[in-house]
């Protein structure tokens, strides 16, 4: 006992001398002959990150962590998150003779507050990617902070699982904004079926990304909008399942954070404002809440009624659904016949949860369908990779959970009884179909002219209805009177252009903004409708500083009107191709 106490006193004296004689650490390495504590810091080679002690809760709790030098509040890793120090002066960080990185409390007889649980390390280095690395004498990495994320994923930090060792790379939220202790939420890779990322709260799943489809996670269409900023990499081998992103060269620094409320946010550093901007976050809406519509339900965030049943299914409890409680899901209207079934294509969806599925990346989509049709327990199938028209095979066995409609979704082939698809083959059905065909043909012969007119009117109204549904929500709608007032009743003196699709007028809104109002030609309805669809669907979604911005639209009976920003200097081609004016360009 006395020998152990003497050893601790000797170590305490040694560390105290080091702290008293060493200046603030500015290099990136720590060896067994150096310790840091108090306000001393370890800096990465390029100065992007710092490692040291930081405080929360009015300096009553101190932690060893890593943070952005330019943004000290952006702490990306915490060592002793569940065991804080009471004061900064008592904390000492050093490499032990065994090769551990340790945080000691010198005020408590050198009590070990945290250690890396490594061995043979002779140097610790904080790298410019924010990774704290311990290496042995041969330079081999024996421990790194990237293997032990807290609530933040940095560029190059992976999420997933080592299938050989069972090591899991996952994130856990802070308890609160000023409390880095382990919170309620975890962000972890589920490797069952087709791997996907899940958010859990106290053993209950709250959100999932959908499986990786070769380009992105099925339920994260927004990922592809960041391809100019970051590069995504997904690895699925016999040894490892992992997902990592990397900031592209020249792009701003980004990080992904699991917040204390369970959101996953992609944050990008703006060096001009010296602040972080949230570029993307999930869950996005109530359809991202796990299992919102129950088994065999499908969620539509833009619908008046969010939850519905897949074709061939009905609510298990109609009374609960009327009360907008859809968690019980749906049940089949007609049992599968096992041999006399077919598939209904549910288009544009986030694929259902895959833990009850099988995956064969080498099978074709056609082969996948044949396999599912021949297996009585298969309930649906889809391509595992959407590239090249769809390859690979995912088959579901059992309930389809957490399916949602969404932008840029993919096709899900749901197995139904033939009678649900209108493809029954009994003799009675055939006789009914023949009689119905004869009656229909006779009626068409008598009413051909009236029916033709009715169908044309119906088709036109259907196009308009579909059309209005497409454009609604992309940009604001205006009343016709607004544009009449802005253009003096579409006065000829305000006309600034005329083409095959309509006339453009200069106008001024009530707030003084100058606009260009394009009134589509009523004499060219087919081309005008196509033009209207293209401009509203594409230009309203396409935002770029070099493209004129679509401000709104108007639909009034047969009138179709678009309103754009007014460009007083006209378009760029008037300068490029004008021999006199192109000289004004640099």
Can you tell me the distance from the alpha carbon of 88 to that of 73, in angstroms, rounded to the nearest whole number? 17
Percentage helix, strand, coil for the chain under 3-state DSSP, each rounded to 5? 25, 35, 40
- Beta strand ranges found along 70-191 (DSSP E): 71-78, 91-95, 101-105, 111-115, 123-126, 132-135, 141-144, 152-154, 159-162, 168-169, 171-176, 179-190
The pair of structure tokens assigned to 49 is: 């990150």
What SS3 state is found at 528?
Answer: helix
**Could you give the angle at which helices 448-471 and 525-534 cross, rounded to 10 degrees?**
20
| C-alpha 23: how far from chain center | 45
For tokens 């006193």, what's the residue?
9
Give the C-alpha separation, 350 to 467, whole Å.
24
Strands 159-162 and 152-154: unpaired
Asked if 332 and 419 touch (Cβ cutoff 8 Å), the reply is no
The answer to whether the CB of 288 falls within 8 A of the CB of 219 is yes
For residue 120, give the nearest of 32, 36, 37, 52 by alpha carbon: 32
- Strand bridging mode 196-201 / 179-190: antiparallel
Residue 530 is inside which H or E element, if any? helix 525-534
Cβ pair 301, 295 in contact under 8 A: no
Q: What is the number of other CB atoms lying within 10 angstroms of the CB of residue 458?
A: 11
Query: How far, in whole angstroms, is CA 274 from its chain's centroid?
Result: 25
Residue 466 to residue 532: CA distance in whole angstroms: 13
Phi, then psi, of 514 in degrees rounded to 5 = -85, 135
Consecutive H or E run containing 498: strand 495-499
d(CA 328, CA 206): 16
Phi/psi for 306 (5° steps) reads -65, -45
Centre a 10 Å sphere on the Cβ of residue 334 and count the other Cβ atoms it contains. 13
Determine whether the annotation assigns residue 519 to a binding site. Answer: yes
CA 560 – CA 466 distance, rounded (Å) = 15
3-state secondary structure 240-251: EEEEEEEECCCC
CA dist 11 to 14, 33, 92, 448, 508, Å?
5, 12, 11, 101, 79
Q: How far is CA 61 from CA 19, 64, 270, 452, in A?
A: 21, 11, 30, 79
Q: How many CB atoms neighbour CB 369 within 10 A?
A: 19
Q: Can you list the alpha helix ranges (DSSP code H) found in 406-507?
A: 427-446, 448-471, 480-486
Binding residues for ATP: 519
- Binding-site residues, in ranges, read 519
């Amino acid at each position: 006992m006395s020998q152990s106490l003497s050893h601790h006193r000797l170590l305490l004296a040694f560390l105290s001398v080091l702290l008293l004689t060493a200046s603030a650490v500015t290099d990136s390495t720590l060896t067994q002959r150096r310790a840091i504590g108090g306000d001393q810091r370890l800096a990465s080679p390029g100065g992007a990150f710092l490692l040291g002690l930081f405080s929360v809760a009015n300096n009553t709790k101190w932690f060893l962590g890593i943070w952005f030098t330019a943004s000290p509040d952006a702490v990306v890793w915490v060592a002793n998150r569940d065991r804080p120090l009471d004061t900064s002066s008592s904390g000492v960080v050093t490499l032990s003779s065994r090769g551990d990185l340790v945080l000691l409390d010198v005020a408590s007889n050198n009590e070990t507050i945290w250690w890396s649980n490594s061995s043979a390390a002779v140097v610790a280095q904080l790298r410019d990617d924010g990774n704290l690395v311990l290496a042995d004498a041969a330079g081999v990495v024996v421990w790194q902070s990237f293997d032990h994320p807290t609530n933040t994923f940095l560029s190059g930090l992976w999420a997933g699982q080592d299938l050989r060792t069972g090591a899991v790379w996952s994130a856990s939220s802070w308890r609160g904004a000023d409390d880095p202790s382990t919170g309620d939420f975890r962000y972890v890779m589920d490797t069952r079926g087709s791997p996907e990322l899940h958010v859990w709260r106290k053993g209950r799943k709250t959100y999932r990304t959908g499986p990786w489809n070769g380009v992105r996670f099925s339920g994260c269409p927004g990922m592809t909008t960041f391809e100019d900023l970051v590069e995504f990499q997904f690895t699925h081998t016999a040894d490892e399942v992992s997902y990592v992103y990397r900031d592209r060269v020249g792009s701003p620094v980004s990080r992904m954070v699991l917040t204390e409320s369970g959101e996953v946010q992609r944050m990008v550093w703006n060096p001009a404002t010296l602040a972080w901007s949230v570029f993307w976050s999930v869950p996005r809406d109530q359809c991202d809440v796990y299992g919102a519509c129950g088994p065999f339900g499908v969620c539509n965030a833009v619908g008046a009624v969010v939850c519905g049943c897949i074709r061939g299914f009905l609510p298990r409890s109609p009374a609960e659904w009327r009360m907008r409680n859809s968690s019980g899901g749906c049940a089949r209207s007609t049992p599968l016949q096992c041999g006399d079934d077919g598939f209904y294509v549910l288009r544009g969806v986030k694929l259902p949860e895959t833990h009850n599925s099988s995956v064969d990346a080498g099978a074709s989509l056609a082969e996948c369908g044949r396999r599912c049709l021949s297996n009585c327990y298969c309930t649906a199938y889809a391509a595992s990779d959407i590239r090249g028209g769809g390859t690979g095979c995912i088959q579901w066995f059992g309930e389809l959970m957490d399916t949602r409609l969404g932008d840029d979704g993919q096709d899900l082939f749901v197995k139904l009884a033939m009678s649900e698809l209108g493809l029954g083959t009994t003799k009675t059905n055939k006789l009914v179909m023949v009689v119905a065909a004869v009656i229909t043909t006779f009626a068409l012969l008598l009413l051909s002219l009236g029916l033709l007119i009715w169908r044309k009117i119906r088709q036109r109204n259907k196009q308009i209805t579909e059309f209005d549904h497409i454009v609604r929500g992309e940009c604001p709608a205006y009343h016709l009177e607004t544009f009449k007032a802005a253009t003096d009743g579409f006065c000829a003196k305000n006309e600034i252009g005329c083409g095959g699709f309509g006339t453009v007028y200069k106008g001024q809104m009530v707030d003084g903004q100058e606009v260009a109002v394009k009134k589509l030609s009523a004499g060219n309805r087919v081309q005008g409708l196509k033009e209207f669809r293209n401009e509203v669907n594409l230009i309203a979604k396409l935002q770029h500083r070099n493209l004129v911005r679509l401000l709104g639209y108007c639909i009034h009976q047969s009138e179709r009107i678009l309103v754009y920003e007014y460009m007083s200097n006209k378009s760029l081609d008037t300068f490029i191709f004008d021999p006199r004016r192109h000289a004004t360009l640099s």
